[in-house]
């Protein structure tokens, strides 16, 4: 799983931030308004879905802001804004691989960290749509080896909505894995060590088991690995050709994968991929190096390009991934949070009217418009995607530095789109 904090940036403050992005078909884009929280109250005003705010355009406020960060070496990566299937803004900055001199561009895939968690929720809802699982089923319906209180009381709904009441032991962050099988075996055992610390239905603060257990259920029901299921039934179905659960050997050799650069205490940055067993003596930096895992744990992470995340957003809206009722179930508000822009949990106050937890992704009501998405942070990387269903916008931020003003970048995106 990805780290709880990155160089003083508390990941719990970022769990709610979202962002989906990339270029999808124009016809599908008109359907984005359909993927809004179920039973939503109509907007206070009717935003013009065809309007292109000046701040979103090339040379606009958002473009100039990100360019300034990049010029000051405070951002490296890709930002994209797409409106109704057409790319309005696409900028790439910095190097994907400094050693080889490869620059970032639209075709480069970045580590998603927690921004990949909604893929697991989509996988479960696909199975529910096919009648293979029910959201009211308990963990023990599909899996053995869990404590009775978990097996008989914690449901799939509890896990996906972040209300399981579970706690999971700290991971062995110094272990280096050498195969997919090793990773899967470790995280299966780790998930089974989860313990109930509150009654099911109680909001939980980022319990790892809530991510790992649904992935195990996907495997139990389908007879395939989580990674293979998601790649076939989500990535390929959406046409996300640059997105996958790449392994560390691929990360080292594939020129289309951005290396993650961790900021060190001395001010330098270290390539997290090439320095798995060397570099900073700081156990925080080395132990939480995302490359140690060989492949991201089931239910988490993956790599994606900005255009692919836009394709994912449109595939949610046009029925490619889920029938409309299940797409609405994915993004429908479940658990109320304090008002936070873009789903930011524990972050600074924003103009959000209301915020809610959904299935593996938060949703906020900001100036009368719904915004839903997800964000993730790992040493050396940041990722965010947001869907604005009322107006057909999708926003993406993918970066391979960890010392960036991530919260502010996302807030600037929201301000550019909504005003």
Residue 410 CB partners (closer than 8 Å, separation 6+): 17, 19, 342, 344, 375, 384, 386, 397
Q: Is 326 exposed, middle or buried (0-12, 13-18, 19+ CB in 10 A)?
A: middle
Q: Is the dihedral of CA 344, 349, 351, 352 positive or negative?
A: positive
At 218, give phi and psi (nearest 5°): -55, -45
Nearest to 23 by CA among 73, 83, 113, 97: 83
Q: Say what the pTM is.
A: 0.87
Residue 354 has what pLDDT? Answer: 87
Alpha helices by DSSP H, listed for 162-302, are 180-191, 209-222, 226-230, 236-238, 248-253, 283-287
Residue 185: CB atoms within 10 A of its CB come to: 12
3-state secondary structure of 365: strand
Under a CB-based contact definition with an 8 Å cutoff, are residues 240 and 254 in contact?
Answer: no
Rounding to the nearest 10 degrees, give the CA dihedral for residues 213, 216, 220, 223. 160
Nearest to 205 by CA among 84, 355, 345, 77: 345
Q: Is the pLDDT of residue 144 over 90?
A: yes
- Hey, what domains does the chain have and what are their CATH numbers? 54-418 (3.40.710.10)
pLDDT in tens, 71-103: 999 999 999 999 999 999 999 999 999 999 999
Residue 340 CB partners (closer than 8 Å, separation 6+): 16, 347, 349, 350, 352, 355, 362, 364
Tokens, residue 5: 């904090």
Nearest to 271 by CA among 241, 254, 291: 291
Please indicate whether residue 400 or residue 284 has the higher confidence score (pLDDT): 400
Under a CB-based contact definition with an 8 Å cutoff, are residues 295 and 247 in contact?
Answer: yes
Please indicate whether residue 140 or residue 4 has the higher confidence score (pLDDT): 140
Residue 301 has what pLDDT? Answer: 94
Distance CA 285, CA 292 (A): 11
Residue 13 has what pLDDT? Answer: 37
Residue 123 has what pLDDT? Answer: 98
Band (pLDDT 50/70/90 cuts) for residue 171 is confident
**Mean pLDDT, to the nearest integer, of 239-256?**
96
Give the mean pLDDT of the chain: 85
Distance CA 24, CA 394 (A): 10
Distance CA 178, CA 299 (A): 19
């Amino acid at each position: 799983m990805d780290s709880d904090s990155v160089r003083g940036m508390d990941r719990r403050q970022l769990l709610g931030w979202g962002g989906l992005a990339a270029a999808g078909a124009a016809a599908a884009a008109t359907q984005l308004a359909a993927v809004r929280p179920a039973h939503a109250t109509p907007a206070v005003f009717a935003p013009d879905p065809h309007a292109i705010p000046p701040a979103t355009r090339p040379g606009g406020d958002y473009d100039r802001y990100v360019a300034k960060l990049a010029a000051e070496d405070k951002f490296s990566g890709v930002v994209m804004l797409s409106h109704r299937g057409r790319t309005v803004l696409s900028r790439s900055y910095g190097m994907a691989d400094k050693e080889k001199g490869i620059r970032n561009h639209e075709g480069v895939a970045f580590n998603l960290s927690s921004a990949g968690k909604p893929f697991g929720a989509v996988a479960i809802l696909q199975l529910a749509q096919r009648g293979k699982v029910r959201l009211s089923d308990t963990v023990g319906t599909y899996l053995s080896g869990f404590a009775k209180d978990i097996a008989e009381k914690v449901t799939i709904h509890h896990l996906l909505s972040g209300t399981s009441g579970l706690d999971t032991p700290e991971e062995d962050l110094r272990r280096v894995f050498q195969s997919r099988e090793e990773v899967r075996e470790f995280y299966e055992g780790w998930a089974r060590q989860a313990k109930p610390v509150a009654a099911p239905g109680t909001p939980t603060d980022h319990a790892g088991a809530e991510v790992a257990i649904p992935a195990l259920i996907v495997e139990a029901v389908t007879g395939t690995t989580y990674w293979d299921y998601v790649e076939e039934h989500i990535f390929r179905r959406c046409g996300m050709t640059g997105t996958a659960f790449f392994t560390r050997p691929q990360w080292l050799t594939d020129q289309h994968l951005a290396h993650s650069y961790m900021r060190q205490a001395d001010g330098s940055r270290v390539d997290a991929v090439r320095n798995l067993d060397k570099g900073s003596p700081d156990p925080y930096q080395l132990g939480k190096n995302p490359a140690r895992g060989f492949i991201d744990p089931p239910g988490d992470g993956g790599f994606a390009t900005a255009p692919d995340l836009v394709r994912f957003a449109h595939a949610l809206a046009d029925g490619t991934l889920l029938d409309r009722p299940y797409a609405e179930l994915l993004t429908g508000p479940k658990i109320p949070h304090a008002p936070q822009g873009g789903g930011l949990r524990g972050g600074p106050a924003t103009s959000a009217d209301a915020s809610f937890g959904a299935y593996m992704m938060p949703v906020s009501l900001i100036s009368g418009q719904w915004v839903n998405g997800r964000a993730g942070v790992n040493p050396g990387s940041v990722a965010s995607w947001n869907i604005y269903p009322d107006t057909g916008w999708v926003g993406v931020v993918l970066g391979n530095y960890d010392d960036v003003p991530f919260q502010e970048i996302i807030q600037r995106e929201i301000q550019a789109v909504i005003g």
